[in-house]
Amino acid sequence: MNELTGNSSRRVLIVDDEPDMRRLLARLLVKKGGYEVLEADSGAVGLVIVREWLPDVVLTDVKMPGMDGVEFFRRLKEVDPTISTIIMTGYGTVEMAVEALKTGVYDFFQKPFDNDQILHAVARAMERTWLLRENRRFHELQQNPERGDFFGFIGNAPRLLEVEDLLRRLAPSDMTVLIRGESGTGKEVAARALHAMSGRAGRRMVTVNCPALPENILESELFGYCKGAFTGADRDKVGLFVEAHRSTILLDEIADIPVSIQTKLLRVLQEKEIQPLGQTRTIPVDVRVVASTNQDIEAKIARGEFREDLFYRLNVVTVRMPSLEEIRSDIPLLIHHFLGKYRTEYERPEHEFSEEAIQLLLRRPWRGNVRELQNTINRAVLLGAGPTLDKKDLRLDVQAQCSTNAHPDLCFDQVQHLDYAGAKEAVLKEFTASYLRAALGRTKGNISLAAKNCGMERQALQRLLRRYQIAISDFRS
């Protein structure tokens, strides 16, 4: 499975009339890249496979009997324009390469090529296909929204559906549940879903933010106290466990509870009763306990910071919330949902994201998970001048947008092509570099205008500039 995109197919089609070349590439892509690979000996056969199998990336030769690679690509676009195509040729010319890039080919290589070079290109092409398909899905959602939310959850990713199914099965019971997951993954949303589907839904769920309260205050808040129990206790106070009687209590970020309070909490779980501060008798409580944490409790147990017996009492059933990386296929749905939510909230129905902003939202490594994505869209709709919200309205840090640790292949602006070798490549490089410098010179370094004049996409021109190490600043006055 592709961990970056959530795309489980990772399908590559090789179209070449040379059997040895097809076998060589197929072996490389299967063994080194882990891709699913099919082969076709002609463009006509390739189109049949495309319609039935729907690959993510196509590698096609140019010179083939019958339908050549350029014509094959044109017809391929009619079937699915999101498929990324890489053209291979042993007879390449500058004109052929430029023409292919003009029509939308993602990349091209001359034979023979380096194995690492082709693997890198296919990896980037795979990410591009995913990005285009998610972008298309987002726009489809604008017209045809998918299923409604599930008690606050938005998405259809398999991992999320597994969580929802587990919550449904747990809800009718009074079983203690530990919800684990990174910050921003919806642990509190899961707890509220459990409560809403339970027989306790008629009473308010009580939520305790454990790290927010000092030890002495947390203890009195949880268990209550009697008048005179300590200095300043001028009246009786009902604890949160009593307030949650016949309901649910969520102990949010329970790993931060001091050990002294952990001991008392263990008694509540074992005996189903609490003892307010300053009182000798206990009070029975009927409370369903749900706890959440984003920490490694096992490591805290090893350091003596968390009671092992309490952990086992809490960890009757664990619900693990997926990170946004694990459910990337739901990002278009989440963008659509949050955009609609904040357009309504701020009465700005005309606000829409630009294509550039959508692509940035789709490819960003969301370390803060769904909460970070939600906050970003909230901020953009609230502060954006509108009606079109561009990437500058997202106010995202550039370094965070393109993390070499999280998404090296999604950050197209940082990708460098491998250098070509050989005399033919030297000639090709010199000719193409002159062509590109002339194009930029006419527009004084304006990439968008230069790309338009050359009849190619902006990204295609940028890839060529990086490949031939041409600095835009040299052409700006």
* Under 8 Å between Cβ of 86 and 125: yes
Residue 335: what are its φ and ψ, rounded to 5°? -60, -50
H helices of 364-467, in order, are: 369-383, 391-394, 398-401, 423-443, 447-454, 458-467
What's the rounded Cα separation, in Å, for the pair 376 and 329? 18
If you write DSSP's letter for every residue of 209-265 in order, what string do you get? EGGGS-HHHHHHHHH-B-TTSSTT--S-B--HHHHTTTEEEEEETGGGS-HHHHHHH
Q: What is the pLDDT of residue 322?
A: 96
- Smallest Cα–Cα separation from 289: which of 316, 245, 251? 251
For residue 241, what are the contacts with CB-CB under 8 A and spacing of at least 6?
222, 223, 224, 249, 268, 274, 285, 287
Give me the DSSP letters along 321-366.
PPPTTTTGGGHHHHHHHHHHHHHHHTT-TT-EE-HHHHHHHHHS--
Q: How far apart are CA 355 and CA 226, in angstroms?
A: 61
Structure tokens at 270: 């074992």
Residue of 103, 44, 40 lying closest to 70 (CA atoms):
103
DSSP strand pairing (206-209 vs 177-180): unpaired
HSE of 308, CA atoms in CB hemisphere, 13 A: 6
| pLDDT value for 355 | 85
Distance of CA 364 to the CA centre of its chain: 7
Tell if the pTM clears 0.85, that is, is over it.
Answer: no
Q: Of 316, 325, 430, 308, which is closest to residue 368 (Cα–Cα)?
A: 325
> What distance in Å separates the CA atoms of residue 266 and residue 262, rounded to the nearest whole number?
6
Q: Buried (b) or exposed (e) across 84-113, using 16+ Cβ within 10 A?
A: bbbbbbeebeeebbbebbebbbbbbbbeee
In angstroms, what is the C-alpha Rg of the chain? 29
Positive or negative torsion for Cα 250, 253, 255, 259: negative
Q: Could you give the angle at the alpha carbon of 86 between the alpha carbons of 80 and 91, nearest 5°?
A: 130
In one-letter notation, the amino acid at residue 277 is L
Q: What does the pLDDT read at residue 155? A: 86
Determine the pLDDT at residue 408. Answer: 37
Integer CA distances (angstroms), 13 to 26, 129, 373, in order: 9, 14, 34
Q: Which pLDDT score is estimated for 443?
A: 83
**In a 3-state reduction of DSSP, which class is residue 281?**
coil
Preceding amide of 112 cis, omega within 30: yes
Confirm if 90 and 424 have CB atoms less than 8 A apart: no
Separation between Cα atoms, residue 24 and residue 254, nearest integer Å: 55
CA distance 437 to 434: 5
Classify the phi-psi angles of 232: left when phi > 0, otherwise alpha if psi is within -120 to 50, otherwise beta: left
How many CB atoms are located within 10 Å of the residue 473 CB?
6
pLDDT of amino acid 399? 38
- 10-residue block means of pLDDT along the chain (477 residues)? 48 93 93 93 92 92 87 90 88 64 83 85 90 77 63 89 94 95 95 94 93 86 85 84 95 93 92 88 93 95 94 94 92 90 90 89 91 95 89 73 39 33 48 74 82 74 78 74
Residue 193, burial from CB neighbour count under 10 angstroms (0-12, 13-18, 19+):
buried
